[in-house]
Structure 1
Amino acid sequence: MQLVMIETNGNQNYIFSSPRLRENIGASAQLTWLEDWTQEVLDTTTIPAAVARAFPEGAPDLPWVSRSSGKVIFLADSVDSAREVIGRVTRIAHSRAPGIDVTGVYVEMDSVYVDDEDLRRVHMAANEHALDRPPAGARFSQMPFLVRAQDSSLPAAPPFDKKKVDDEATADLSMAYSLPSRVKRYHAAKARKDLVDRALADHGSLWKEHPYRDNTDQLGELLVRDLRNLEKLFDTDPEFGDDRLSKVAVVHIDGNGVGAIMSHLKEAKQKVPENVFSEATGVSQGDDDALRRFLLQINTRLAGAMETAFYSAWAQVSLWSAKDDELRGRHIKPHGFRAVPVVPVILGGDDATVITEGAYALPFTAAFLEAFERETAADSLLSALGNRDDHMTAGAGIAVVRHAFPFHIAYDLAETLIKKAKQVGKAADPDEYCSTLTFHALFDSTLLDDEALIDSYSSFTERPYRFVTKDYDAPGNMTWHEACRLTALFTGVGKVLPDKSTDPATWRIEYVSDPTQRVPFPKTRAARIRQYMSEAANAPEPAAQPAPEAPVNDDVEDRIATGAAPEKSPGERVNDEWAAILGSSDEDLVALAKALGSPDALFDLLELADLLPVSYLQDQLVSTAYTQEAGE
C-alpha cells in the first residue's frame, strides 16, 4: 500500500505575486480546488475500490487519510496508481491554474493502516523532492522578443479564445496580462459572489441583529458581492466620498499547537476520552484504523471552526459598522449603511489571512479569536485537544497600512507579528496556552526590517495582548479586555466614576453616548510622553516609574510649558508630565489618569484610539460587571 501526498507550495507568494486585489482573490480561490481535483481523478480510477477491499467492510472516507486546504493525503494500492494520480492532478492544476505550484510524493507502507511513522516519512519525501525540482516560475521562461506582462515579470499572454471563454472582462482584453494573471482575474468575480452567497445561505443566522437582516439582496450588496464595487472600496468610498478606507489591514491568524498535534497524532489521541473518541471516529482508540479516522475528523472539525469563526467575525464587523453609521448620522437614504470590505485570501485548516479595512481590523480579529475559542469549546473532540479551559487557541498579527501599500509586504509584517504573538500565547505548558493579538500601524512608505521595527518599541509596549479567563492569575502581558477598557477611557467614550475604593480598577465606568460630553486624555500630552518614553528606552539607564501620588514640584508646569530643562533625563520628563496631570485642578482628568494607572499604556493607547471604533468600545464596556450605561 502506498501513502500519497499532494500539496500546493508557496501559497503566499502565489496569492500576493500581483498587487491587484482581483488577482489575490482569484488565486485564493484556486488554492482551495486541490481536493476537488484529486477527487475528480480518483473517481475515474480503481483506487477507491482496491483500497476498500483491504479494509473491513464499511470503513468510511476511503482512500482518504487527510483533507485540508492546500494538502491532501490518501492511500493508493500500487506505485503505478500513485504515480498516475499525481501526474493527472498536477496536469489539471497547471492547465486550470497556471502558475500554481503543485507537487506529489508517495512512500510505501508496511501495513494498510497509517501510523505516525508513515506520515513522517511522506513529509520527509516531500521536503527532499522540494530540493531537487526547478521552481514553478521556470515554466514561464522569457525570450527577448516576448512582451512582459503588466505587474509581473512573466511574459504577457493573449486574451482567452472567445470560442471557449466568451465572458472575459472587457477591460482585461486590451491589457498585457500574464497567463496566470488572466486565469486568476477570470475566476475572481465568481469566487467573491460565491463567498457572500455562502455567508448568507449557510450562516445567515449570524446577521440576525443587522438592520438589513430581512433583505438578503440589500445585505448581499452591503457585504460587497460585486467584485468591481469591492475594488472601488479599497481605493475610495464612492457612496460617502470620505477617507474612511485610507487604512487597510492584512490580518494573519494561526492556531496554537496544531502542528504539534499533527506531528504527534498518537500522543494527541491519548488526550481524548475514549467515549468522545469512539463517538467521533466510530472506532476505539486501539483500532488499527483509529489514527486515519482521527486525522480526518481533526481536519474537518478544525476547518469548520475556522470558517464559522470567520463568518461570525464578519457579521460582527458589519453590525459595528452599521452602529457607527447611525452614531455619525450616515444612515441616510438612498445610501443606507456603508460596507466594510472583508476579503479572505487564505481560510483553511488552522490558518487564515484576511484583508480588510484598517478601522475594523482589530475588532474583526478579536471577534474571530473569540468565535474560534467558542466553536472549538463546543466540539467535543477539539475541546479535548485544547487548553485547560477546554478550547483551542490561536495567535494573530495585524499589519495596518495605507491603502496603496503592497499587500505582500504587509503580509510579511503580519507574519512577523504573529510570531511575536505566539511567543506570548505559547510561553507556558500547552494546557496554559492562550490566544494572543498584536498589531503594528505602518504609515511610512518604507519597511526595511520587520524584526528591528517591532523590537524598537518592545520595552515600552503592552503588546501582544492576551485573551484569558478571569481565573488565570499568572502575571503576563495585558489582556485584550483591559486594553479596550483603557482605550475607552483614553478616548472619553467611557467615563470613570470614582468611589471609596482605593483600587481604580474596580471603579465603575459609564458609557458616554454624547460626543460633546466626552473627556478624552489630552493627545498632545500623550504624544509628548510617548516621545519621552521612546527616548528613555534608548537611554543607558532605565527611567524610574513615578509613584501614583507623586508630589508636584512648583515649577513642573512652567518647565513643561517652556520645554524640559536640559538636565532632565527622558525618564524624569515622563515623571514630571504624569505628576503634573495628577496635580491638576481638573478632577475628571485626575480621575482618568488614576484609572489609567500609569503612563505605561499611553504608547499603545494613542494608536488604539484610532483603530477601535466607538461601537466596538461600547460593546466592550457594557459587557463588564463594572460598567453602566449613561443615565443608569
Structure 2
Amino acid sequence: MPVLTAMDVLGVQRYVFASNRLRDVISASWLVHWVTATDGALRGSEGDVLLASGGNVVVRFTDIDAAKSFAARYTRRLYDDAPGLDVVVAHRNYEKGGLAAALAQLQVDVARAKLERIPSVPQLGISVTTPCRITGLPATRLDPQDASIPLSSMVLRWRDGDVRASATSRWDALLTDSQRYAFPPEIDDMGRTRGDTSLVGVVHIDGNGIGQQIQSWLAQCVEQARPDVIVEEDLRAWSTGIDQIGLRCLQSVVARVAGAVTSEAHIEGTLPDLGFDLRRSNGRIILPLRPVLLGGDDLTFLCDGRLALDLAETALREFDSDVSKLGRVTACAGVAIVPAHTPFDRAYDLAEALAANAKTRRRERNDSGSWIDWHIGAPRRGESVGDLRARSFTQRLDGTQLHLTCRPYRLGLDTRERETWRWLSGIVLGTGPEGFRGERWSRHRNKLKELVQVVREGADGVRRARESWTAAANLPWPDRLDQTGGFFDATRTPLLDAIELLDVHLPLGLEVAP
C-alpha cells in the first residue's frame, strides 16, 4: 500500500537569523533550502517527491517500511549536516484513488505532530563549558579563522567552506550581468553613505490565504473523486507555479536595482538628492540588495533602506498573478527600515509582524489585493506593531482618538486611487506642482516640519496653522488634502506617513517594472 510521508522544517526564521553576520545568515538560508531540495538532503530518497517547497516536503513510497527507513536516514542527515534545524515527520497510507483525501489528512497529521512532539531540551552547560560567541550555545570548536572565538556546531557548519561557497553562489543566477554586478557579502557593503545614519531595509513578502486556496483545491478533488494521476499533476502544477512566482519577484527586484545603476556605479532614481554611490569589489559593482529567503509563498530580502519601499512595491506587483488550479494569488509586504547593525532577528520579527498587520487590515476591509506596511527605526524588544502605533501614532483630542497614520496601505492600481500606497508615493510625495517633493513645497520645508507637531491638534489645528502661514498660505496641497485639514473621516491622516518618507523613500522610476 502506497504511503505519503510529510516533513515540515520548524523554526526556519529563528535558525536563519540566529547570527548578526550577513555571511552566516546567507549560509543558514542555503542550508534551509538544502534540507528540502531534491538535489540536497532528499537525494537518494528512493521515493517519488510530490512537493518540496517552503520548508515542506511530501514524498510517496511503496510501503511503510520504505517510508520509515527514509525518515530515519533523513533525520540523521539533518542532525549531522544541518545541526540546529528541527523537523517533524508524519506518514499516511492510502488506497488507490485516495491520494487527495490522504493529502488532506496528512496536513492534519503534521499539525498534530507539531503539537504533540516533545521539544529537544539538551543539557547544555551542566559542566564547565565555553559559550559560542554567536549563539550562546556550548562551543564545540574554535573558529578556524580566529582561534580566540569559540563556536557551536551550528555556526561551524555555516562557516564550512563548501557551505559558504554554495550559499554565496546560490543567488548569482538572479544577476542580470554577473560580470558587472555582485551581491554584498556584508551589511557595510550595501550602499551605506558615510557620515549619514545608514538604514537597512528588511522586506518580507507573504502570500495572502494561499493555504486556504490549497485546502479548497483539495476539498474539491475529494468531492469530485478525481483520479490520483490528475491530483498529482495538479499538485505539481500549482507547486511549481508558486515557486516560480517567488523567483520572478526576486528577479524583478534585482533587475529594477540593476537598471538604476549608472556607469559611475551610482544609484539614480527620480530624486537626484537621494541617489548614492555603490562600492566595487574585484571589478564588480556591489548591489545594495541581498536575497535571503525564498520558499513557497514567502520571501525575504535585505536592501539599502532608501530602496526598501520601492522594491517591496515591485515584488508585490510581480506576485499578483494567476496560479494553475488555485487562481489569483496576491501578497502583503512588511518593511522594517532599521539602523545598520540592528540585530537581524529583531528586524525580521518586525518585518514579519508588519506583514501580518497588513494581512489583518486586508481581511477587515474584505479586500482581494496586495497591502503594504512599514516602520522606520528599531523597535523596542517585545513591542508589538499595535503597541508601537499606539505609542507613536495615536493622539487623544477632545474625547476623539486620532490615528496619525493610515498604515497599512492598499497597494492600489494607480496613483488616482486615494489612500493607497501608489497614491501616497506618486501624488502626496510626488514631484509635481502639488507634491511635497515638488519645487514649491521644497522652498517651504519648514512648513512640513511644522505639520509634524500641528497634526496632533487634528484637522482644525492643521487648518489654523495653514491660515497663519504667509508666504506658504496659498501652496496647493496634494490631491486637495487641505480641504479636509489633511485628515480622512477627521480621524486618520497620511501627512506623517508622507513627511517621514521625504528623505528615506527613493523611487527608482515613475513606473514599477513589469
TM-score normalised to structure 2 length: 0.83
Aligned equivalent of 2:429? 488
What is the Cα deviation at residue 574 of structure 1?
Answer: 2.6
Are positions 1:604 and 2:497 aligned together?
A: yes
Identify which of 370, 373, 383 aligns with 1:448: 383
1:400 matches 2:341: no
Q: How far off its partner does 1:94 sit?
A: 1.1
Deviation at 1:395, TM superposition (A): 0.5
Gaps spanning 5+ residues in structure 2: where?
395-402, 487-492
Q: Deviation digits for residues 2-29 of structure 1, max 9, x if unmatched? A: 2210121011111122222222111111
For residues 222-249 of structure 1, give each alpha carbon's deviation from its aligned partner in whole angstroms, at most 9, with x where no partner exists. x33xx3xx34326x85xx74537x1112
- 347 and 294 in structure 1: CA distance in 2 versus 1, 3 angstrom threshold: same
Cα deviation per residue 1:152-190 (whole Å; 9 max; x = unaligned)?
22111215xxxxxxxxx8535542111101111236642
- Say which SS state the counterpart of residue 90 (structure 2) adopts: strand
Partner of 1:619: 510
User: Among residues 141, 152, 174, which one is paired with 1:178 in the alignment?
Assistant: 152
CA distance in 2 between partners of 1:333 and 1:76 (Å): 51
Contact 2:51-2:57 within 8 A present in 1 as well: yes
Displacement after TM superposition at 1:485 (Å): 2.0
C-alpha distance in 2, partners of 1:533/1:243? 28
Q: Which aligned pairs between 1:6-155 and structure 2 lie closer than 5 A? A: 6-36=7-37, 43=44, 45=46, 48=47, 63-111=48-96, 113-115=98-100, 117-136=101-120, 138-139=121-122, 141-155=124-138
CA contact (8 A) 1:362 1:611 kept: no
C-alpha change, 1:126 and 1:334, in structure 2 (3 Å) is: closer
For the pair 1:528 / 2:419, whether they are aligned, the reply is no
CA distance in 1, matches of 2:18, 2:227: 46
Taking a change above 3 Å as real, the CA distance of residues 428 and 448 of structure 1, as seen in their structure-2 partners, is closer
| 2:461 pairs with one of 544, 550, 573 | 573
Answering whether residue 201 of structure 2 is matched by residue 249 of structure 1, we say yes
- 1:291 matched residue in structure 2: 231
CA distance in 2 between partners of 1:580 and 1:593 (Å): 19
Shift in alpha-carbon separation, 1:488–1:129, aligned structure 2, 3 A = closer
**After superposition, where does 1:397-476 map in structure 2 within 5 Å?**
397-427=334-364, 432-443=367-378, 448-456=383-391, 457=393, 459-469=403-413
CA distance, structure 2, for counterparts of residue 112 and residue 172 of structure 1: 59
Of the candidates 572, 584, 591, which is equivalent to residue 476 of structure 2?
591
1:264 aligns with 2:246: no
| Cα distance in 2 for residues equivalent to 1:98 and 1:596 | 56
2: CA distance, partners of 1:319 / 1:29? 27
Match of 1:501 in 2: none
Gaps of 5+ in 1: 49-62, 160-168, 205-212, 271-283, 387-391, 497-508, 537-542, 546-571, 624-632
Aligned partner of residue 18 in structure 1, secondary structure: coil
Please report the TM-score for the alignment, with normalisation by the length of structure 1.
Answer: 0.69
- Mapped partners of 1:308, 1:171: distance in 2: 37
Equivalent residues in 2 for 1:221-240, closer than 5 Å: 223-224=183-184, 227=185, 230-233=186-189, 237=192
Point out the structure with the larger helix share: 1
Q: How many pairs were matched up? A: 486
Which residue of structure 2 lines up, in the alignment, with residue 194 of structure 1?
169
Could you say what the CA RMSD is over the residues aligned between the two structures, in angstroms? 3.5
Cα gap change, 1:364 to 1:330, in 2 (>3 Å)? closer
Question: What is the CA–CA distance in structure 2 between the aligned matches of 1:330 and 1:470, rounded to whole Å?
Answer: 28
The match for 1:219 among 168, 181, 205 is 181
2:413 and 2:422 in contact (8 A); partners too: no
> Helix, strand or coil: the match of 1:141?
coil
Q: Which has the larger radius of gyration?
A: 1
| Relative contact order higher in (CA < 8 Å, ≥ 6 apart) | 2
Shift of 1:80: 1.3
Write out per-residue CA displacement over residues 65-113 of structure 1, whole angstroms, 9 at most, x where no aligned residue: 3221211112222221111111111111111111111221112224354
Residue by residue over 1:531-574, the C-alpha shift from the partner in whole angstroms, topping out at 9 and shown as x without a partner, is: 3434x5xxxxxx5x4xxxxxxxxxxxxxxxxxxxxxxxxxx433
Counterparts of 2:301 and 2:278, CA distance in 1: 30
Deviation at 1:448, TM superposition (A): 3.1
1:539 paired residue number: none
Instruction: Please report how far the alpha carbon of residue 142 of structure 1 lies from its aligned counterpart in structure 2 after TM superposition.
Output: 2.7
More strand by share: 2
Quick one: which amino acid aligns to residue 108 of structure 1?
A: N
Q: Is the 8 A contact 1:247 1:401 kept in 2?
A: yes
The CA distance in 2 between the partners of 1:573 and 1:313, in whole Å, is 41
Task: Tell me if the contact between 2:428 and 2:478 (Cα under 8 Å) persists in the aligned partners.
Answer: no
SS in 2 for 1:347: strand
Q: Deviations over 1:451-508 (max 9, x none)?
A: 21134426231222222336998xxx7112111123434xxx3334xxxxxxxxxxxx
Taking the aligned partners of 1:355 and 1:146, their CA distance within structure 2 comes to 35
Which residue is equivalent to 1:355?
302
Aligned partners of 1:447, 1:522: CA distance in 2, in Å?
Answer: 39
1:626 is matched with none
Maintained 8 Å contact 1:318/1:339: no
The answer to whether the 8 A contact 2:181-2:285 is kept is no
Q: Distance in 2 between matches of 1:484 and 1:318?
A: 21
Task: Identify the residue that residue 210 of structure 1 maps to in structure 2.
Answer: none
Counterpart-to-counterpart distance in 1, 2:280 and 2:354: 41
Is the 8 Å Cα contact of residues 174 and 254 (structure 2) preserved in structure 1?
no
Change (3 A) 1:72 1:361: same
Q: Distance in 1 between matches of 2:8 and 2:133?
A: 29
- Encode CA deviations 1:305-361: one digit per residue, 9 max, x unaligned: 111111211221233354645946977999999644322222111011222221111
Q: CA deviation at 1:258?
A: 0.4
Q: In the alignment, is the contact (CA less than 8 A) between 1:251 and 1:397 conserved in 2?
A: yes
Matched residue SS, 2:502: helix
Looking at structure 2, the residues matched to 525 and 188 of structure 1 have their Cα atoms a distance apart, in angstroms, of 54
Compared with structure 1, are the counterparts of its residues 331 and 182 closer, same or farther at alpha carbon in structure 2 (3 Å cutoff)? closer
Matches of 2:20 and 2:346, distance apart in 1: 10
> What secondary structure sits across from 2:180 in the alignment?
helix
Q: 1:290 to 1:219 in 2, by over 3 A?
A: same
